[in-house]
Amino acid sequence: MSRKILALFMILALFAAAALADGEGVYTYNSAQTEFPTNWSPHQNQTQIDSDLMVQLGNGFYDFDYNEDEDGYKVIPQVAADFPVDVTADYVGDAWGIAEGEEARAWRIPLRGNLAWEDGTPITAGDFVTSAKLLLNPTAQNHRADMLYSGNLVIKNAEAYLKQGLASDTALGTIMEAESLSVEDLLAKYGSEPGCINWGNSFGDTYDFDAKAWTGEAEDAVVTTPLTLSDLYAFYTTGEGRAYATWASDEQMTEWALEELFTPYMQFAGAMDFDQVGILAPDDTSLVLILAKPLSGFYLYYSLTDYWLVNETLYHACESETDGVYNNTYGTSKETSISFGPYRLSEFQSDKTYLLEKNPNWYGWSDPANEGWYQTDAIRVDCVAEVSTRMEMFMSGLLDVVGLDKDHIGDYATSEYTYYDEGDSVFAMVFNPEHSALKTAQEQAGAHINKTILTLKDFRMAMSLGLNRQEFCLASSPTNEPAFALYGGQIVADPEQGLFYRTTDVAKQVVVDFWGLSDEIGEGKLYADADEAIDSLSGYNLEMARQYFDAAYDEAIAQGLMGEDDVVEIMIGTPNETSAFYNSGYDFIVNNYTEAVKGTKLEGKLTFKRDATLGNGFGTALRNNQVDMLFGVGWTGSTFDPYGLIEAYVEDDYRYDPAWNPDETMLTCTLDGEEYTANVRTWQHAITNETVTAKKADGTDAELNVSANAEQRILVLSQLENVILQNYDFIPLMGDSSAKLKGMQVEYHTEDEVFPLSRGGIKYMTYNYDDAEWNAFVASQGGVLNYK
């Protein structure tokens, strides 16, 4: 993704500090975490914890800072010396596919002249080009490669270079359109290729080519056969396939065939030189980005707040290959890390501690804008799993900041040292209802254990309606409030206007539609308007939940998914077994649903187990069906780009539910009074600044560029949010609020949060005592501090 999106799980008490010995004139801020970073490479990092370390070791081209009045934000150059210059006119021609008169397709970014690695080695524009080539290495298939081709920022030919030589099953209609072929030419060119037919999703039956008959066993999967495309096309249009359905016309029959028949297709070019990728270095301090689609203004800067720069020499030293599998350990230890940011990694002990110290060769020290700031000399991060231990350390003066969990919030809720924060995430209850994997898991679990009931939407709806979110929050994370949608209140839909997404009418409509309140709003009805209806929500409807539990049970029995003697067993995954949030949350969930199914056909048949060993790999564990359910997980990193963030719920590499197919899920949006229909992935591309093709109500094609119209873009986003919610595989649970105690040693720059800078962070943090003075102060208080 062009703007980094990070997997997030609920963490309390992230920050803690232990003063260094002695420390006269030294200011140390240490942060303790319940989980530790495992890979902070710019090319591979996946979680917020990884990113927290990575951002201290480097900077993006642009960043956010306080505005002049310190009541809002502004975008500032960081690694860049200034804002980008439009040089599209210099790259007109077939080589880059740019026509005369186009704008915002090529940008020159002026770089600072004093960029350097921590060892003093200069960094030039060429290093950014080389790093991009390493990021897009087809052999490596780096997790973060899509930051150069997905979302708003799409570098010309970046995806094609990464995926050169790859083929995937592609519908014939897609191939015909891509190559401008007629049906006859299409079959002449590809007819001898092996094919497959997607009858399962179309008719609920599959065709057995051995028995030459339709089966009654529905399979929601592609039916593969040894037949060629020509065989399949003939079967579909003239054989039993033609007889199976009544087509309104030959044209309709042909259209369906082109959509339902697939063949492995070389979607991307063969061998491609990197000089065809739109990242160029005209000189040492100029970087040119050539884009596949126009991008300018705020979203251009926002897409460039992350970085992909790596040290080429160290990067190659970290490479290895085992049994043909590429591996790279860059950014996994002190020895494999190197900084060009304000701090450098001077110590790292996995799952124990790491230390960051000021990087003397950071370009920023010579910038007048940083003069007087960055008082913090060192940052120590310790792994402290137990909440009670962190609280004891904080009260003993060893921690600068400590998060308040449910057992401590009551004692310090009104303390002058307590600060409340609101994040940009929605934490959810998440399922992976992929049938074949669940079937395998239940077979491995033993006789009369059932998991495949999770594939039924009615069951997941019952899980949503049967959860008392308010009580869950009180039991596990009292600072949080229940959540009722995919996006929280901090997500910005229009940065230029300062418009928050959840305040728009279309976003409110998503909420009332999802919770079934639309018919209750209006004059003389239960609610005067959408705001009143939303304010009334609890998300908890036990009576309806029980109805859905019964309906799911009946459907599972009828479909043969479950036997009458079976017991449903849901394996819940958590990062660890020491987190107060996950321990309390798990206990609440077990008790909540045990009560919820009483009086239903699932009473005594719904059980839970827990795998508390997942660490940062919680997302992968669910996608691989190692566990059946997660809770307290979400996504972060795109506060200002909800359009790019939707990729986390749609793209194969990110979404938790691989069983859902966004290519086959159709969505109709009404724009300017006209209905347009396309699949979910097409609409996702439409809101990330791409021109797409959709069907009008009369069946004709229309090209749309909804990103050019802010109102239409927000509307399509809302419709995508609704479609995703309706899957009931990512069920909103609670918001992202937290409370923490700030120690007496440090001061924040602003008392109130200034979005998105919070209270200033490390750059603006100041100290009332150096480390030596702090130790003396704590001793003078008898070694125990009073924060009440």
Asked whether residue 368 is assigned to any structural domain, the reply reads no
Percent of the chain whose pLDDT exceeds 90 = 72
Domain contains 787: no
Average pLDDT of span 728-753:
94
Burial 411-441 (b: 16+ CB within 10 A, else e): ebeeeeebbeebbbbbbbbbbbbbbebbbeb
**Does 451 share its domain with 467?**
yes
- Domain shared by 575 and 622, yes or no: yes
* Average confidence (pLDDT) over 575-591: 93
Query: How far apart (Å, rounded) are the C-alpha atoms in residues 435 and 455?
Result: 6
In a domain, 112, yes or no: yes
What are the tens digits of pLDDT across the range 680-708?
Answer: 999 999 999 899 999 999 999 999 999 99
Q: Are residues 416 and 435 in the same domain?
A: no
pLDDT tens column, 78-94: 999 999 999 999 999 99
Domain count, the chain: 5
Q: Please give the full DSSP string across 291-344, using - where no structure is assigned.
A: BSS---THHHHHHTSS-----HHHHHHTEEEETTEEEE-TTSSSTT----SSEE
Which pTM value belongs to this model? Answer: 0.79
Residue 369 lies in a domain: no
CB of 225 closer than 8 Å to CB of 169: no
User: Residue 514 domain-assigned?
Assistant: no
Report the alpha-carbon distance of residue 732 to residue 735 in Å, rounded: 8
Which string of b and e fits 101-115 if b means at least 16 CB within 10 Å? eeebbbbbbbbbebb
Among the candidates 616, 633, 650, a domain finishes at 633
Per-residue confidence band for 69, with pLDDT thresholds at 50, 70 and 90: very high
Average pLDDT, the chain: 89
- Domain contains 17: no
d(CA 522, CA 716): 24
How far apart, in whole angstroms, are the C-alpha atoms of residue 46 and residue 143?
8
pLDDT on residue 652: 83
pLDDT at 19 over 50: no
Instruction: Kindly state whether residues 576 and 474 are assigned to the same domain.
Output: yes
pLDDT at 53 exceeding the cut of 90 = yes
For residue 328, the enclosing domain spans 33-163+273-363
Q: Are residues 260 and 280 in the same domain?
A: no
Residue 207 covered by a domain: yes
Query: Residue 756: is the preceding peptide bond cis (ω within 30°)?
Result: yes
CB atoms within 10 A of CB 619: 22
Residue 508 covered by a domain: no
pLDDT tens column, 420-478: 988 888 999 999 999 989 999 999 999 999 999 999 999 999 999 999 999 999 999 99
Other Cβ atoms closer than 10 A to 406:
18
State whether 576 and 695 are in the same domain: no
> What is the percent of the chain where pLDDT is above 70?
91
pLDDT of 246 reads 56
Q: What is the DSSP letter of 478?
A: T
Mean predicted confidence (pLDDT) in 747-772: 94
pLDDT at residue 22, as a whole number? 53
What is the per-residue pLDDT across 514-556, written as a single tens digit (0 to 9) for each? 999 999 999 999 999 999 999 999 999 999 999 999 999 999 9
Domain boundary among 606, 633, 660: 633
